[in-house]
Copies of this chain bind each other. A is one copy, B any other.
Amino acid sequence: MKKILLVEDDPNLGLLLQDYLQLKGKFEVVLCKDGEEGLRAFTKQPFDLLILDVMMPRKDGFTLGKEIRKINEHVPIIFATAKGMIEDKTQAFNLGGDDYITKPFRIEELLLRINALLKRASSADKSEEEKQTHFKIGRYDFDYTAQMISAGDFHQKLSTKEAELLRLLCLRKNEVLTREEALLNIWHDDNYFNGRSMDVFLSKIRKYLKDDQNVEIINVHGRGYKLLIN
């Protein structure tokens, strides 16, 4: 669960945002009522994203942002600013891949930006291997994004779960993909029923790949599966 630091001096707005982001956004939100408090919170625990009100007593949002940048170069920041304050000041920050939003704003709009920034941040630190979307499986080509297996003019569309499972197998090809890893990755919960569901998908995927004798998904009893190629 992602953790957000929200620094906003207006308690009405602050609490509203906190509630909304916790409920709708499924985030853990720490609320601070001024810049000083915000800085203390930031030094004490890690956050995935910061939302800083610009107009605040004691320490304004831009100042706080600059201080935080000295401690952490990468954490994404969203500045909430009144109209007109934008042009000059934000320039300093826009380089860092941060964002700003002008008050008043729709709360859905804020959620959108949060997700966009978090996504950008997380895709940046994904390992090369996890970005791979095309796989060669014997004589088949598997396009994870398009959810499609092809071989010559043969095309087989895959459902989302089929594609996700096959992708994990490919990433671990010739090694064991544990049932637990697959379940946590795709179903986000390792329980009996999800396990049985996965078995059904394994069965389907094997059917799709049955025409190439050099491709096989074998079971490693009690541990998981291995995609063997050649």
Residues of A within 8 A of B (CB): 24, 83, 86, 99-102, 106, 108-109, 111-113, 115-116, 125, 127, 129, 145-147, 159-161, 174, 181, 184-185, 188, 216, 218-223, 226, 228
The distance in angstroms between the C-alpha atoms of A179 and B181, with both chains bound, is: 26
Chain B residue at minimal CB-CB distance from A78: B127
Taking the closest CB of chain B, its distance from the CB of A133, in whole angstroms, is 9
B145, A226: Cβ atoms closer than 8 Å: yes
A108 touches B146 (CB 8 A): no
A145 partner, pick from B101, B108, B174, beta carbons under 8 A: B174
A101: chain B residues within 8 A (beta carbon): 125
A213 to chain B, nearest CB (A): 12
Question: Are B220 and A112 in contact, CB atoms less than 8 angstroms apart?
Answer: no
Contact of A218 among B100, B146, B223 (CB under 8 A): B146
Contacts of A145 in B (CB 8 A): 174, 226, 228
Nearest chain B CB to A183 CB, angstrom units: 9
Contact partner, A146, options B24, B111, B146, B228, Cβ 8 Å = B228
A108 to B184 alpha-carbon distance, docked (Å): 6
Complex contact A99–B112 (CB within 8 A): no
Other than the known A116-B129, A161-B221, what 17 A-B pairs have Cβ atoms closer than 8 Å?
A83-B125, A102-B125, A106-B188, A108-B188, A109-B185, A111-B184, A112-B181, A112-B184, A112-B185, A113-B127, A115-B181, A146-B216, A146-B218, A159-B221, A160-B221, A160-B222, A160-B223
Q: Is there an interface contact between A86 and B125, defined as CB atoms closer than 8 Å?
A: yes
Residues of B within 8 A of A112 (CB): 181, 184-185
With a cutoff of 8 Å between Cβ atoms, the chain B residues found around residue A146 in the complex are 216, 218, 228
Q: Give complex CA distance A106, B186 in Å.
A: 12
| A160 contact set on B, CB distance < 8 A | 219-223
Chain B residues with CB under 8 Å of A228's CB are 145-146
Q: In the assembled complex, which residues on chain B have CB atoms less than 8 Å from the CB atom of A125?
A: 83, 86, 100-102
